[in-house]
Homo-oligomer: A and B are copies of this chain.
Amino acid sequence: MKADWIISHAFVLTMEGKGVGMIENGAIAVKGDTILAVGPTEEIGKAYQAERMIDGTGKLVMPGLIDAHMHTGLAIFRGMAQDMSHWMQKGLWPLMQNTKKHEALAGSLMAIIEGVKAGTTTFCDYDHSMNEIVEHYVKVGVRARVAETVNELPDDMGLVPVGELYPLDPAIGQRKLSANMQLYEKWHGQANGRITCLFGPQGPDMMRTELMLEVKALAEKYDTRIHMHVAQGDREIDQMLKRYGKRSIPFLEEIGYLDSRLMAVHLTEATKEEAQLVAKRGASMIFCAGSIGIIDGLVPPILDFLEAGGQAALGSDQAPGNNCHNMFNEMKFAAILNKVKRSDPTVFPAWLSLRLATIESAKAIGLEKEIGSLRAGKKADMIILTMQDPGLAPIYTNPVRNIVPNLVYAARGHEVETVIVDGRFIMENRQLMTVDEKEALKKAQEAAEEISRRSQRDIAASNSDIYHMMSEGYL
C-alpha cells in the first residue's frame, strides 16, 4: 500500500495501552494528515511503500506534546513577575496596562515558536485577543484549542484594593462573550480541523452566576468544552465566600458546572475532598506545576485528583512567572514537586508525566480520537528527537529501558529535531518551516522596548519585590 512517507528503525513511543507503548525498532507510515500504520519496521516495510523514506536510526518518535493551558498573550512579559509577592498586581498589572494589542500578539507568536521548538504540537490557549492570536496558530501550522477569556471585570481592575469585591459589569461580560462566540463561529473546525474552539470564562469569581449559566448553555448548544480557572488562588476563594458564602467547587457543584465539559485549571486551593469531587463528576484537571510552584510556592492536589480516578493534563500557563512554555520543563516539575509533596520518590513516575503530556492530556481536553498517541487512523502529529545527546545516553533496553525516565528527567526540548502536525513537517533540523523565527524574536524585542518605555512610572510605583531587587543589584 502506498504512503506519503515512512519513518523506520526508530524507537517509537506510541503511548498506546496503559503504559508508553514502546516499539524498539518501529516504523510509522503516513498519508496526508493521517497515520496509516504503526508497528515494527519489518512489518511496516512489507505492507507500505513511500517515496519519502526517513531513517529513524538513533531517533525517538513520539506523539507531539500537548500544552493544556497557556496564556500566550502574556508571554511578552516573560521574566517580569517571579520571586515576588502579588505577582499579578505588582508584576503583571503595571505592564499590562501599558501594552498595545499588537505588542501582546508579538509575544504570543514568540511563545508559540518556543513551544514548537520544545515539541508542543497542540496548544490550549486561553486569552484575550484570541480572535487575533488564532491566526498565529494557523500560520505556524500547529493544532490549537482556543478560547477567548470571558469575564465581567472592568479594564482598571488593578485599582480595586485587595480584599474588596470585584465590581462586575454585565455589559463587559456580554462584549467578551460575544468575542468568544465570534471566535467559535469563525474558527471552529478551520485549518483542516486543527483549530477548535472552547468557551473561556476566566473563573467563577469574575462574573455573575447568570453569565456562568449562559456560558454553560452555549457550551452545550455548540457541544464544546469550557476552559476555566477553578480554585486558582486564595483571592478567588475569598471573593466566592464574600459573594456567595461558598467556596468555588461547592458553588460550581450547585450550579451544575462540574461535568465532563469542564477543563478545571489549577485547583490550587482545592481541598482533597473538593479535588475528589471534581474528579468524580468527570471534569478534567489541568495541572500547571512550574507556574503555580513559582508564583504561589504551592503544589496543587493533582495526586488526590488522579487517585480519585480523575482525568488530568499538564500546562505551562504563562511565561511571566513560569517562565517558559516547554512541556519537558512541566513534566520534570510535575514529577519532582509531587515526590517532595508526598516525601515519596515512587509517586509521579516519569511515565505518568509523559502520559499527562500526551494521551491523558488528549483525553482531558477531548481530542483523544485525533491525537495523543500514535495509532492508525489518528492525525499524524508527532515529534522526532535525536537520542545522540549526552543527556539521553547511554540507552538501555534490557532488562529495563531507561528511555522514558531520561526523556522526562534529562531531556530539555532541544533534542526535538523534527515537528510534524497533520502530516506536515513544520520544523526540520530545528528550523521552523512556516514562520521566520528571527523576525518573530525581533518583533517581540521591539514590542518589549515600547512597553518598557511606557511602563517605567507604573513599575516604579508598584513598589514590587522585583523592583527592589533591581535597585539592589540582584537582576
Q: Are A111 and B390 in contact (CB under 8 A)?
A: yes
CB neighbours (8 Å) of A456 from chain B are: 398-399
CB distance from A159 to the nearest CB of B (A): 21
CB neighbours (8 Å) of A22 from chain B are: 473, 475
Interface-facing stretch out of A12-20, A176-184, A212-220, A237-245: A12-20
Residue A429 is within 8 A (CB to CB) of chain B in the complex = no
A339 CA to B344 CA, complexed, in Å = 18
Q: Are A391 and B340 in contact (CB under 8 A)?
A: no
CB distance from A105 to the nearest CB of B (A): 13
CB neighbours (8 Å) of A333 from chain B are: 336
CB distance from A60 to the nearest CB of B (A): 13
User: With A390-B113, A475-B400 given, is the CB distance from A340 to B341 under 8 Å?
Assistant: yes
Q: Are B402 and A79 in contact (CB under 8 A)?
A: yes
Residue A85 is within 8 A (CB to CB) of chain B in the complex = yes
Q: Are A405 and B470 in contact (CB under 8 A)?
A: no
Interface residue tally of chain A, by bracket? 35 or more
CB neighbours (8 Å) of A290 from chain B are: 336, 409
Residue A466 is within 8 A (CB to CB) of chain B in the complex = yes
Q: Which of B326, B347, B393 contacts A110 (CB 8 A)?
A: B393
User: With A299-B340, A413-B412 given, is the CB distance from A110 to B390 under 8 Å?
Assistant: yes
Q: Are B410 and A323 in contact (CB under 8 A)?
A: yes
CB distance from A281 to the nearest CB of B (A): 28
CB neighbours (8 Å) of A337 from chain B are: 336-337, 340
Q: Are B340 and A396 in contact (CB under 8 A)?
A: no
Residue A447 is within 8 A (CB to CB) of chain B in the complex = yes
Q: Which of B293, B298, B347, B452 contacts A297 (CB 8 A)?
A: B347
User: With A345-B294, A473-B18 given, is the CB distance from A78 to B403 under 8 Å?
Assistant: no
Give 28 pairs: A residue, B residue, CB < 8 Å, sorted on A: A20-B473, A79-B405, A83-B335, A107-B394, A294-B339, A294-B345, A295-B345, A297-B339, A298-B343, A319-B410, A322-B409, A323-B409, A326-B410, A329-B332, A333-B336, A340-B341, A349-B474, A393-B441, A394-B447, A394-B448, A398-B456, A399-B452, A399-B459, A399-B467, A400-B466, A402-B475, A405-B475, A414-B414
